[in-house]
C-alpha cells in the first residue's frame, strides 16, 4: 500500500494514542479527558490555533500552510465519543470504565486525525488552511449539529469538509465511497395505546390495548411493503413492547411501543411519519381505544456531494490503488449536519475481518492507521498543492 512513509514511522506512536483512548472511553458530551488529550497534542504539534469547548467538549485546531495564496480552507473531522457497552475483548488495553467502550472505532478516528495533524503541522506542504475538528457525541447526541450551531463553518471559514469511518468486513486499508445519500436519516417513535383494562377472564368487558398494539406492530410493516416505492429505502422497526401490567391474568390499560425509522430521502421520511400516525389512529378507532403517537426526528440523511466524492475517491486511489463503491447504509451519522452546511464527502476505510461495530468484541484495527492518516493528508496536499 503506497501510504506516506512518515505514517509508517509514526504508526507505533499513533497506536499508543489510540490504545490509551480505547482504555479510557467517554460517552456523548462527557469527553473531557479525550478533549484535553487532543488539545494538548494539537498544541504540542504546533497548531496555529487550538480552541476547546466548541459544541460543549469539541476541539478545533488550525494549521496554516507554507502559503495562503489559494485562500482555501478545508475541514477534517473525527468523532471522539464511545458507546454505553460493556467491553468483552479481553485486551490488555480494554476499557477501564464499566459499561463504556469504544465499540465503533472513534478512538481510531481520533488517533488517525491526530497523526495527520502532526504530519501536516510538521510539513505544511500546502497552500491554504486546514481546520481539524474533533467532535463529541456522534452516538446519538448530535455533537456535529451543536458544533455547527456554534458557528464552526463560518468562524473558521471552512469551505469543504471531509470525514471517515472504519468499516469491519471491508479489506484492511481499502476505501469505499458513494455520492448522494449514503447514511440514513434516523428517527424514533413512541406510541401509547390505551384501552380499558380488566380481568383476562372477562375480555368482553375490556378494550384490549395489547390487541391494538399487536396489530400495530404488524401493520406498521406495510409502510415498507405497501406504501413505499419498492426502489426507495425505508425501515420501520418496533423495538420495545411494554404493557402497564405484568400480571398473567390482567388485560392492561396501556401498552407502550418504541422503535426507529430509517430513510434515505426527505419524501420517504415524511411518508413514514404520516403513515405511522394514520395506521395507529385507525387501529385505535377500530378497537374502541385511543392512541398517542410521538414522532422524533433525529439525524438527517447524510448526503455526499458529488464533486467532493469524486475527489475523495481519487485521493483514495492514490493511497490504496483503488476505491470501491460503498453500499447504502441504514445506520445514521451526524456528519450529515456538516455536509448540510458545506460541500464535502465521507469515506469508509477497511477494518478487515473484525467484529462488527457496536459489538462488545469489536476493536479498531491499528493496521489501518497508515491508510487513514495518508488519506486525510493527501486530501489537503492534493486539494491545496504548494507552489
Say how far apart CA 276 and CA 269 lie, in whole Å: 11
The average pLDDT across 109-119 equals: 98
What is the pLDDT confidence band of residue 2, given thresholds at 50, 70 and 90? low
Say how far apart CA 28 and CA 346 lie, in whole Å: 21
Q: Closest by alpha carbon to 371, among 324, 318, 311, 305?
A: 318
What is the pLDDT confidence band of residue 56, given thresholds at 50, 70 and 90? very high
Indicate the annotated binding residues for Mn(2+).
Answer: 104, 106, 139, 165, 358
Q: What is the mean pLDDT of the chain?
A: 97
Per the structure block, which three cell numbers stand in for 29? 458530551
List, as one string, the DSSP characters of 347-375: EEEEEES-PPTTSTT----GGGHHHHHHH
Per the structure block, which three cell numbers stand in for 72? 482555501
Q: Which residues are catalytic?
A: 81, 138
Instruction: Tell me the per-residue pLDDT of 25-51, one tens digit each, with 9 for 90 and over.
Output: 999 999 999 999 999 999 999 999 999
Neighbours of 51 (CB within 10 A): 17
Residue 1 is predicted with a pLDDT of 44
Largest Cα–Cα distance in the chain? 85
Contact 76, 160 (CB under 8 A): no
The average pLDDT across 90-105 equals: 98
Classify strands 58-64 and 49-54 as parallel, antiparallel or unpaired.
Answer: antiparallel
The average pLDDT across 157-176 equals: 98
Instruction: Tell me the per-residue pLDDT of 238-291, one tens digit each, with 9 for 90 and over.
Output: 999 999 999 999 999 999 999 999 999 999 999 999 999 999 999 999 999 999
Indicate the annotated binding residues.
Answer: 104, 106, 139, 165, 358
Contact 225, 237 (CB under 8 A): no
Q: Closest by alpha carbon to 169, among 387, 365, 378?
A: 365
- % residues pLDDT > 70 (the chain): 99
Contact 80, 383 (CB under 8 A): no
Taking the domains of the chain in order of start, what are their residue ranges? Answer: 5-181+302-383, 185-296
Say how far apart CA 84 and CA 139 lie, in whole Å: 10
- % residues pLDDT > 90 (the chain): 98
Within 8 A by CB and 6+ apart from 148, the residues are 337, 338, 340, 341
| Distances from the Cα of 23 to the Cα of 33, 91, 94, 322, 352, angstroms | 12, 9, 5, 33, 21
Please, what CATH class does the domain formed by 5-181+302-383 belong to? alpha beta
Q: Closest by alpha carbon to 42, among 126, 121, 102, 98?
A: 121
Residue 387 is predicted with a pLDDT of 84
pLDDT value at 8 more than 70: yes
Q: What is the pTM of this model?
A: 0.96
Instruction: Tell me the per-residue pLDDT of 230-253, one tens digit each, with 9 for 90 and over.
Output: 999 999 999 999 999 999 999 999
Could you tell me the sign of the dihedral formed by the alpha carbons of 194, 198, 201, 203, in that order? Answer: negative
What is the pLDDT confidence band of residue 221, given thresholds at 50, 70 and 90? very high
Could you tell me the sign of the dihedral formed by the alpha carbons of 18, 24, 28, 34, in that order? Answer: negative
Residue 361 is predicted with a pLDDT of 98
Please, what CATH class does the domain formed by 185-296 belong to? alpha beta
Neighbours of 72 (CB within 10 A): 18
Amino acid at each position: 500500500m503506497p501510504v506516506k512513509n512518515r505514517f509508517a514511522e509514526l504508526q507505533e506512536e499513533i497506536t499508543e494514542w489510540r490504545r490509551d483512548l480505547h482504555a479510557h472511553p467517554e460517552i456523548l458530551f462527557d469527553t473531557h479527558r479525550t478533549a484535553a488529550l487532543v488539545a494538548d497534542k494539537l498544541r504540542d504539534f504546533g497548531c496555529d490555533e487550538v480552541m476547546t469547548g466548541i459544541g460543549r467538549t469539541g476541539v478545533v485546531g488550525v494549521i496554516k500552510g507554507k502559503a495562503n495564496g489559494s485562500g482555501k480552507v478545508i475541514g477534517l473531522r473525527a468523532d471522539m465519543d464511545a458507546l454505553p457497552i460493556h467491553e468483552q475483548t479481553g485486551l490488555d488495553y480494554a476499557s477501564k470504565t464499566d459499561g463504556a467502550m469504544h465499540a465503533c472505532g472513534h478512538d481510531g478516528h481520533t488517533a488517525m486525525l491526530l497523526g495527520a495533524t502532526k504530519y501536516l503541522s510538521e510539513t505544511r506542504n500546502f497552500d491554504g488552511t486546514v481546520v481539524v475538528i474533533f467532535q463529541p457525541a456522534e452516538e446519538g447526541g448530535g455533537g456535529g449539529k451543536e458544533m455547527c450551531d456554534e458557528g464552526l463553518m463560518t468562524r473558521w471559514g471552512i469551505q469543504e469538509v471531509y470525514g471517515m469511518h472504519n468499516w469491519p468486513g471491508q479489506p484492511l486499508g481499502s476505501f469505499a465511497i458513494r455520492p448522494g445519500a449514503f447514511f440514513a436519516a434516523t428517527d424514533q417513535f413512541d406510541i401509547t395505546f390505551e384501552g380499558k383494562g380488566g380481568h383476562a377472564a372477562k375480555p368482553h368487558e375490556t378494550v384490549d390495548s395489547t390487541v391494538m398494539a399487536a396489530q400495530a406492530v404488524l401493520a406498521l410493516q406495510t409502510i415498507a411493503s405497501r406504501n413505499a416505492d419498492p426502489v426507495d429505502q425505508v425501515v420501520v422497526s418496533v423495538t420495545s413492547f411494554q404493557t402497564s401490567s405484568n400480571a398473567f391474568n390482567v388485560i392492561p390499560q396501556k401498552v407502550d411501543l418504541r422503535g426507529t425509522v430509517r430513510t434515505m430521502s426527505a419524501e420517504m421520511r415524511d411518508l413514514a411519519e404520516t403513515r405511522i400516525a394514520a395506521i395507529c389512529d385507525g387501529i385505535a378507532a377500530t378497537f374502541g381505544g385511543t392512541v398517542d403517537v410521538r414522532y422524533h426526528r433525529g439525524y438527517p440523511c447524510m448526503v455526499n456531494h458529488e464533486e467532493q466524492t469524486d475527489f475523495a475517491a481519487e485521493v483514495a486511489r492514490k493511497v490504496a490503488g483503488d476505491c470501491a463503491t460503498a453500499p447504502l447504509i441504514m445506520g445514521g451519522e451526524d456528519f450529515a449536519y456538516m455536509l448540510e452546511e458545506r460541500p464535502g464527502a465521507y469515506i469508509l476505510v477497511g477494518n478487515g475481518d473484525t467484529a462488527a461495530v457496536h459489538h462488545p468484541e469489536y476493536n479498531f484495527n491499528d493496521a489501518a492507521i497508515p491508510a487513514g492518516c495518508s488519506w486525510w493528508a493527501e486530501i489537503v496536499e492534493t486539494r491545496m498543492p504548494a507552489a
